[in-house]
Amino acid sequence: MSQALSLPETTSESSVRDFFELMKPRVMALVIFTASVGMFLAPGELHLLKAVLSLLSLSIGAGAAGALNMWVERDSDALMKRTQSRPLPTGRVRPAEAASLGVTCSIFSVLMMSLASGLVPAFWLGFTIVFYVVVYTLWLKPRTPQNIVIGGVAGALPPVIGWASITGTTPLEAWALFLIIFMWTPPHFWALSLWCAQDYERAQIPMLPNVVGAHKTRVQIFIYGLAVMATVYVPYLLGTVGNVYLVLALLLNLPWLQSLYRVLRRENVADQKRLFFVSILYLFGIFCSLILDRLAGGLLNV
């Protein structure tokens, strides 16, 4: 049995693609996108070179955190069907290589951000990496079903970092963007954990469905989902955006609410998967709406 659960022997023939996969490119894409929105909404002149270097720093930092996350979780990843084909469980990348990549890129990204945009965004980038790896991955995830609630801080910080890279400050308007992602994260990941509950049970990770059951998890998803619907209006209330955003947010809340209700009322894997993918489109739509409102120039605002 122990042989079946042990990681395979590694070789030195790791490909560039393997290392790129190690850095969680889909997460990097979300980080770049939300940080870009923070940059776009921040007051002040947007210098192209500075913005590109800041986004590059942020993407490298996000990739570094992803690599270190996979390094820490390589044994549990090997036990889960959803993650067992990753580079470390399959032996395509050595653990030492993953750790070296993560540490090196972490240091490089923070230094690069400090040179490109200053100490404030560099601090928050470093904080994000440490929080994700140490607080979330090492401490929270194996110990509490609230791991994704508290751990969502790391995933919600990119727009704040993007804003700070332009202004050198993190005002309330930037934290409103943080709040949207922070409240969105639990229902997004709990939808995933519902249909992957056996995986998490096998890996002994205390995700909410394995601790309180599927029904209570669906109730929590609905409650947090309603909270998200409220938080998306905070940028409007703060005057960051205007009526174009208000209308688009109202429209986007309709399919979001429908998906939440379908998951609440019945135990159905198809509904859970649908909510997971709808949540991605919902967050993308909300942040695109922030951009569209700014591009509209307030023409429809009163």
Please tell me the predicted confidence (pLDDT) of residue 297: 74
- Taking only the tens of pLDDT, the chain with its 302 residues reads 333 444 444 444 678 999 999 999 999 999 999 999 999 999 988 889 999 999 999 999 999 999 999 999 999 999 999 999 999 999 999 999 999 999 999 999 999 999 999 999 999 999 999 999 999 999 999 999 999 999 999 999 999 999 999 999 999 999 999 999 999 999 999 999 999 999 999 999 999 999 999 999 999 999 999 999 999 999 999 999 999 999 999 999 999 999 999 999 999 999 999 999 999 999 999 999 999 999 997 554 44
Q: Is residue 107 within 8 Å of residue 96, measured between CB atoms?
A: no
d(CA 76, CA 174): 35
What is the DSSP secondary structure assignment for residue 93, as one 8-state letter? Answer: S
* Region class of 144: left (phi > 0), else alpha (psi between -120 and 50), else beta: beta
What is the DSSP secondary structure assignment for residue 197, as one 8-state letter? Answer: H
Long-range contact pairs involving 233-240 (C-beta distance under 8 Å, separation at least 24)? 234/176, 234/179, 234/180, 235/41, 235/173, 235/176, 235/177, 235/180, 235/290, 238/172, 238/173, 238/176, 240/41, 240/173, 240/176, 240/290
Angle at 98 between CA 92 and CA 103, to 5 degrees: 165
3-class SS shares of the chain: helix, strand, coil, % to 5: 75, 0, 25
Q: Is 73 helix (H, G, I), strand (E, B) or coil?
A: coil
Considering only CA atoms, which of 299, 296, 281, 225 is closest in space to residue 33?
281
Rounded to 5 degrees, φ, ψ at 92 are -75, -20
Q: Is residue 158 within 8 Å of residue 125, measured between CB atoms?
A: no
Beta carbons within 8 Å of 230's beta carbon, 6+ residues apart? none
d(CA 280, CA 256): 10
Domains of the chain: 16-168 (1.10.357.140), 171-302 (1.20.120)
Secondary structure element (H or E) that encloses residue 207, with its range: none
Q: How many Cβ atoms from other residues are within 10 Å of residue 48's Cβ?
A: 7
The reported pTM is 0.93
Beta carbons within 8 Å of 300's beta carbon, 6+ residues apart? 242, 243, 244, 247
